Chain A
Amino acid sequence: MRRRHITWLALFAALMLVLAACGDSTDDTTADTDAPQSTEAPTETTAAAEPFKIAIIAPSASNDLAFTQSIVDAVDVIKGEMGNVEVAVTDGTFIVDDAAAAIRGYADDGFDLVIAHGSQYGGSLQEIAPEFPDVSFAWGTAADTFGLANVFSYEAASDEGGYVMGAMAAALSESGVIGIVGPIEVGDAKLYVDGFAAGAAGATVNINYTGSFSDVALASEAGQAHAAAGADIMTGTAQMVVGAIGVADEQGILWFGTQANQASLAPDIVVASQVYHWEVILRDIISNIESGTLGGEIYSINLANGGEVIEFNDGYALPADVMQIAEDTIAGIIDGSISTGG
C-alpha cells in the first residue's frame, strides 16, 4: 500500500515538473520567435482607461494559415487601430468541452467580447451566454444568435471568392480536370467548395470530402487521388489542406487557397488565395458594444464589404486574360450580375 502511494506521488511530482517546465519555456522563448502567443498580455494599460478586452476561442492553431489565423489576424488589426485593447487567445480547442470551459472562464473574467470561432461551439454558447448578460459573445461561422440579446453571429460568403477562383481555375486548366479537397460537407467549407465548383462550370470538378478537419495524411492522399484522376488545378479548405498543398507542390499542380494567404506554403504553385478580413465586421460589433448593444445581429463578410479579398501571389505569373476574368467576376458578384448559386 505504501509503495503504491509512493508511486502515485512520484507520478504527480513528475507531472508538476513537466507543467513547471512548460511554463518556463513559454516565458523564455516568446521573445525569440515571431509566432503569435497563445495568450497575449495587454500591451497598454493605463490607470485612466480600462482596456477593451477581447477573447478568442478557436479550434486549431493561431498560425494555421487557415480558419483560426483569420480571426487572430483580424483581432490584431483591431488592436492596432484601437490601441487600448487586451487580447487573450485560447487556440487548439478541438474538444468542444474544453472550448466551453474557456468561453465560460473569459466571461467570468469580465471580458467585453468573447469570440467563439467555430460553428461547433454553438450549443455551448447557447447555454453559457444567458448566464452572463453583461458580456457580449460573437459566434461563427453561423447565422443564428439563438434569439439572445448578447450574442452576435458572423459568417463568410466564402462561395463568392470560391466562385471567382473557380472561374480562374477553369480558364487556367489544360487538362480540364480540377480537384477539390474538403473536410466535412458543412458550413464555410461547403459554401466555398460549392462556390468554387459553380465558378469552374465547364471543367470536370472532382470533389473529395475526406471526413476530417485535421487528418493531414488523408488530405495528402486525397491530393494524390486528384492527381491520378488528371487534375492540374487543386484547391481545398480547412486546416488539414497543408497535406494536399504539399502534393500539389511536388507534382507542379496549381493551387488556390482560402481563409488565409497560403502562398508561403508553396510560392511556385499558389495562384491566389481568398483571404478573410473579419476586422470589417469586428469594427461594427465593437461599436455596437460600446453603444450598449451586446448582440442580436448577424454579420457576413463578402467581396462587396471588403471582408473577403482575393490576394494574388506575386510569385506566380498570372496570364492577363485570367486576371481579367478574375476582375470581371469580382465586379459581377459585387454588382449582383453574377450569382454564385449559393
Chain B
Amino acid sequence: MSDFFTQAILVATVASGIRLAVPLLLASLGETFGQRSGVLNLGVDGIMLLGAFGGYYAVLETGSVWLGLLMGIGVGIILGLVSAVISVTLKAEQGISGIGVYLFGLGMSDLLFQKLVGTPRPVSSFPKLDIPGLSDIPILGDMLFRHSIIVYVAFGLVPVSMYIINRTTFGMNIRAVGENPEAADSLGVSVVRTRYLTVTIGGTLAGVAGAALAIDLGIFQQNLTNAQGFIAIALVYFGAWRPAGVMGGALLYGFVNSLVLQFKTLGIIPRSWSDIAAMAPAIITILALVLVARRFRQPAALTKPFSRGA
C-alpha cells in the first residue's frame, strides 16, 4: 500500500481519472440538455461510435486532429438531427428508437472502419497543453494542468452549460419544455424547436466525445466506446440533470476506475479479486445513483412526446 503514496503514482492516478472522465463528461453534458427538455436519447453510444470513427478517419487522412474534432462535431450534428426527427417529429417511443440509433452506430462505424481502413493504424493525438503558471505548482500542476486540450474543453463546458441552462432565455425554455410543454407552448415557446436544438446539442457533444476518445487514444477499433454512452446516460440521472452533478458523476466513475487499475498494477488488489474489482466502478456509480437521484425529481415531461392539443 505504501507504494501507492508516492508522488508519481498519486499524480498518475488522478490524471488517469480525469482522462477517463472526459468522454463521459462530454456525452453526459449533451444528454443533460436533451433530458432537461424532456427527450431521452438512448442512442448516445451509437453517435459516439460514429463520431469516434469519423474523427479517427479524418485524422488518419489529413493528419489534423482539429479536422478530426470537426468531423466528430459534424457527425454528431447529423445524428442529433436524425434523433430529433425520430423522437420529436415522428414521436417514436424514446426507449426503443434510441436503441435503434445505437445499433446503427455500432454496426455502421465497424463497417466503415473495415471498408475504409482495415487493419488498425495509429494516428496523432491531441497536443498536450501545460497551463502557464498553474502547471508548475508542485503535484497539483502535474495532476490537473498538464493534459491534452480536449480535457480543458470538456471541463470548460460545465460552467458554460450551467450558464445556458440556468441564466439564459433558451435555458428557461428548455426547463419549461421539459417540465410542462403544454404550458410552455401556450406561452409561445416552440416545443419542437427547443427539443430539436437540445437533442442536436446532445448529438453534437456525443460526436465530440467519441472523436475525443478515438483521437486521444490515437486508434479506432470495433465498439471502441465499450458502452460509455450508456454510462453517460446513467450519469445524467446521477447528476440530477445538473451539469455540475454530471461532472461529479463522471469524475467519480473515472477516479474509481483509475484507483482500481493502479491498485491492481501494484498488487494491492490480489489477482484473484481482479475480475470483481473491475466491476467496482459500475457498482459504486449505481449505488451513488440510487442514493443521490432519489433526492431529486426528473423533468416531468421526460420521455413524453408533445402533441399540441393532445
Contacts and interface: CB of A to CB of B under 8 A. Distances in A.
> Do A and B bind?
yes
Interface of A: 7, 10-11, 15, 18, 22, 25-26, 29-30, 33-36, 38, 60-65, 69, 92, 94, 179, 184-185, 206-212, 214-218, 220-222, 224-230, 239-240, 242-243, 245-246, 249-250, 264-266
Contacts of A227: 12
B217 A65 contact: no
Interface in B1-19: 3, 8-9, 11-13, 15-16, 19
B126 to A, nearest CB: 12
Interface residues of B, number: 57
Contacts of B92: 7, 11
Contacts of A217: 20, 23, 213, 217, 226, 228
Contacts of B114: 35, 38, 61-63
A33 B119 contact: no
A216 B90 contact: no
A212 B278 contact: yes
Given A185-B274, A225-B13, 15 more contacts: A15-B100, A35-B115, A63-B118, A94-B223, A185-B271, A206-B267, A209-B264, A209-B274, A209-B275, A214-B226, A217-B23, A226-B265, A230-B8, A264-B119, A265-B121
B265 to A, nearest CB: 4
B86 A11 contact: yes
A64 B219 CA distance: 12
Contacts of A212: 226, 278
Contacts of A94: 223
B218 interface: yes
B223 A214 contact: yes
Contact of A225 (B116, B121, B221, B262): B262
A234 B107 CA distance: 32
A209 B19 CA distance: 19
Contact of B121 (A11, A222, A240, A264): A264
B8 to A, nearest CB: 5
B81 to A, nearest CB: 13
Contacts of A33: 115-116, 118
A224 B14 CA distance: 11
Given A184-B275, A221-B16, A222-B261, A266 B122 contact: yes
Nearest to A265: B122
Contacts of B120: 63-65, 242, 265
13 contacts: A22-B111, A29-B115, A30-B115, A35-B117, A60-B222, A64-B221, A210-B261, A220-B217, A221-B258, A228-B11, A229-B9, A230-B8, A265-B121
B266 A243 contact: no
Pick the most buried of A38, A206, A216, A242: most chain B CB atoms within 10 A of its CB: A216
A284 B301 CA distance: 64
Contacts of B110: 61, 92
A7 B100 contact: no
B61 to A, nearest CB: 13
A211 B274 CA distance: 7
A179 B265 contact: yes
B29 interface: no
Contacts of B278: 209-212
Nearest to A10: B90
Given A206-B266, A209-B271, A228-B12, A11 B97 contact: yes
A15 B3 CA distance: 54
Which of B110, B117, B265 counts the most chain A CB atoms within 10 A? B265
A162 to B, nearest CB: 16
Contacts of B9: 228-229
A25 B115 CA distance: 8
A211 B217 contact: no
Interface string B111-144: 1011111111110010000000000000000000
B287 interface: no
Contacts of A221: 16, 19-20, 257-258, 261
B265 A206 contact: yes
B170 to A, nearest CB: 28
Given A216-B219, A225-B16, A7 B265 contact: no
A18 B100 CA distance: 12
A301 B3 CA distance: 40
B174 to A, nearest CB: 25
B226 A242 contact: no
A63 B90 CA distance: 39
Contacts of B258: 221, 225
A146 B266 CA distance: 39
A116 to B, nearest CB: 19
A61 B13 CA distance: 31
B244 interface: no
A225 B278 CA distance: 15
Closest 9 CB pairs of A and B: A211-B278, A35-B118, A228-B12, A225-B265, A63-B119, A209-B274, A215-B226, A29-B115, A7-B90
Interface in B230-279: 257-258, 261-262, 264-267, 271, 274-275, 277-279
B275 A185 contact: yes
Interface centre among B86, B90, B119, B267 (most CB of A within 10 A): B119
B278 to A, nearest CB: 2
Contacts of B274: 185, 209, 211
